[in-house]
Every structure is written in C-alpha cells, then in structure tokens.
C-alpha cells in the first residue's frame, strides 16, 4: 500500500509516466475496437512498428543533412519524431487498407513483411543516431521512464482530438465499419468516413508509439478490445469496457513494475495477456458468455 500511496502522490517523481501510460491505456482501445471489428488485427501489429520507423527516419534527418535541431533538443526532437511517426502511420494504413479492399495477394504476408522490415530498420537507424542517446532506443523497447511536461501535454492534446472525432462521428464510423453494405445503400460517403477513421487510428498509433513505444501501443490497441469482445452485448459496452480495461491495466501495470523494479512496457503487456486469458476462461465457463461481434 505504501507504493500505491507514493504513485498517487502529486509529488511522485514519475507521475508524468503514470499519466501518459493511463492516457494511452484509455485511448488506444477506442480505436482498437474498430480494428478488431473490421478483422484487421494484423494491421494493429504492424502499424506501431511502422510508426516507430517513421520516428527513426525523422530523427535521422538532422544527421543526414548536417544540422542541429533548434530550440530545446528534446522538444524539437519530439516534434520532429511525431511528424515522422504520423506520416508513416497514415501512409501505411491507407496503402494497406487499399490493398486489403482490392483483395490482391496475401494480406497477412504483407503485414508480416512490413512489421519485420520496419522493426529491423528502426533499430539500425537509431543505433547510429545521436538522438537515440536521449532515450529513444529505450522508448522503442517500452521503457516509460522520463516523460516531460511537454510530452504529456502533446499526448493529452492529441488523444483529446481523437476522442472528440470519435465522439462526434461515432455513428457514421460504426455504420461504415459494422455494416458497410447498409452505409452504401443509405448513400453515405464511405470513402470519406474510412479516411477519417484511418486518420484517427494513425493519430492514436503515432502518439502511443511516441509516448510509450510500439510494444505497449500494440498491446493496448488490441488486447483490451479482444478482452471486452468476450463479454460486450453491444458496441457501447464493447467500446467503454475496452477503454476501462486498458486504462486500469496501465495503472496497475505501472504499480507492479514500480513495486518489483521491472520494465513498465513488458509489465503492462503481460498483465493484459493474463487478464485476457482469465477472461477467456470465464467466458467459456459462462453459458452464452462468448457472443462474437457485438450488435450495434
């Protein structure tokens, strides 16, 4: 209990890390439910890693061009990394989505190739980049230790924008994702709503990768949604339950890692996996517990 009191104290040294982890935990499942509902789980695996490649390439530009970042090095590098992460995330999700819709080739093979190449390229680029010494390599491994006030504010502002977009256009995004044929019959602009959803997913993935790394981003994108999917009776329950699972797991995962002196990222993901396993067993034991994709 003493550890819990320390974490909840406003003077806690790592309070920004706790807040950022919880923000990511609450926000990622909100877009993760759409990936699960559209059966794009493999995209949820590849996107965080592709986003981290955007971070690595963006941080390499100053080295390649031979100039130093202006202003505070950490804040300048963070802004540059966010631009690279966002660019690569959006480009990847749009290209992969188009190929998926056309039904050409093997989507699992494309996503697997994108993931493994992006992971290797990220490590190679940052290993030779002086900005990697500011903690970027630790971040990409899931070490959520030093989060500045600037990083926290940028994370909160970006995720607030995502939340506003989901709240304002939830019905349209849900219709296009859940019942595409009806949306077309009702003459909805399906392409527009698809692009908007991809932008919101790209923003969330980019900020999650930039704040806590691809490991935690992937875990919170999919595992809370998959866990909530076992019990939710409708889409509202699916979304709210997934978000609550993500946010609460982020907090308790941080508590466990701080208590046992373990890395935060792996602790969060393992805790999510344990919860998913327990939930799956409970759902199997309860008659009618597994309900498939929720009704709208």
273 domain residue, yes or no? yes
Question: With helix as H, strand as E and coil as C, how does 198-245 read?
Answer: HHHHHHHHHHHHHHHCHHHHHHHHHHHHHHHHCCCCEHHHHHHHHHHH
- The structure's pTM equals 0.78
**pLDDT tens readout for residues 206-247:** 888 877 777 788 889 889 999 998 888 888 888 999 999 999
Percentages (nearest 5) of helix, strand, coil residues in the chain: 80, 0, 20
If one counts the domains in the chain, the total is 1
Residue pair 155/207 in contact (Cβ under 8 Å)? The answer is yes
296 domain residue, yes or no? no
User: 222 vs 14, 25, 286, CA distance in Å?
Assistant: 26, 11, 23
- pLDDT at position 256 over 50: yes
pLDDT band at 73 (very low <50, low <70, confident <90, very high): very low
291 domain residue, yes or no? no
**pLDDT tens readout for residues 158-203:** 889 999 999 899 888 888 887 778 888 888 888 888 888 888 888 8
Q: Which residue has the higher pLDDT, 22 or 140?
A: 22
159 domain residue, yes or no? yes
What is the CATH number for 13? 1.10.3470.10
Report the mean per-residue pLDDT for the chain. 78
125 domain residue, yes or no? yes
- pLDDT at position 268 over 80: yes
295 domain residue, yes or no? no
Distance CA 66, CA 44 (A): 35
23 domain residue, yes or no? yes
Domain residues for the domain of 97 are: 2-285
Contacts of 241 (CB under 8 A, 6+ apart): 228, 231, 232
259 domain residue, yes or no? yes
Distance CA 1, CA 53 (A): 40
pLDDT band at 108 (very low <50, low <70, confident <90, very high): low
pLDDT band at 141 (very low <50, low <70, confident <90, very high): low
* pLDDT score of 64: 66
- pLDDT at position 275 over 90: yes
Q: Which residue has the higher pLDDT, 26 or 66?
A: 26
Residue pair 195/218 in contact (Cβ under 8 Å)? The answer is no
Distance CA 196, CA 193 (A): 5
Q: In 10 A of CB 201, how many CB atoms? A: 26
């Amino acid at each position: 209990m003493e550890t819990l009191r320390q974490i909840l104290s406003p003077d806690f040294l790592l309070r920004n890390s706790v807040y950022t982890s919880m923000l990511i935990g609450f926000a990622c499942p909100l877009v993760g439910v759409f990936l699960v509902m559209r059966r794009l789980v493999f995209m949820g695996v590849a996107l965080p890693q592709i986003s981290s490649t955007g971070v690595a390439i963006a941080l390499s530009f100053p080295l390649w061009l031979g100039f130093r970042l202006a202003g505070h090095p950490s804040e300048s590098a963070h802004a540059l990394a966010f631009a690279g992460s966002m660019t690569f995330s959006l480009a990847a999700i749009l290209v992969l989505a188009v190929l998926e819709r056309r039904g050409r080739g093997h989507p699992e093979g494309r996503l697997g190739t994108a993931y493994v190449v992006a992971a290797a390229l990220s490590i190679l680029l940052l290993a030779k980049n002086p900005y990697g010494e500011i903690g970027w390599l630790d971040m990409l491994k899931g070490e959520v230790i030093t989060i500045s006030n600037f990083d926290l504010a940028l994370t909160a502002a970006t995720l607030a924008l995502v939340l506003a977009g989901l709240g304002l256009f939830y019905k349209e995004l849900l219709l296009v994702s859940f019942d595409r044929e009806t949306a077309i019959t009702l003459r909805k602009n399906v392409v527009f709503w698809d692009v908007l959803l991809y932008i919101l997913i790209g923003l969330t993935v980019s900020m999650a990768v930039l704040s806590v790394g691809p490991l935690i981003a992937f875990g919170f994108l999919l595992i809370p949604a998959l866990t909530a999917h076992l019990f939710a009776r409708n889409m509202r329950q699916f979304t709210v339950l997934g978000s609550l699972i993500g946010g609460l797991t982020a907090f308790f995962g941080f508590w466990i890692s701080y208590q046992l002196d373990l890395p935060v990222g792996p602790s969060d993901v393992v805790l999510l996996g344990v919860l998913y396993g327990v939930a799956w067993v409970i759902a199997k034991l309860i008659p009618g517990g597994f309900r498939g994709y929720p009704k709208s």
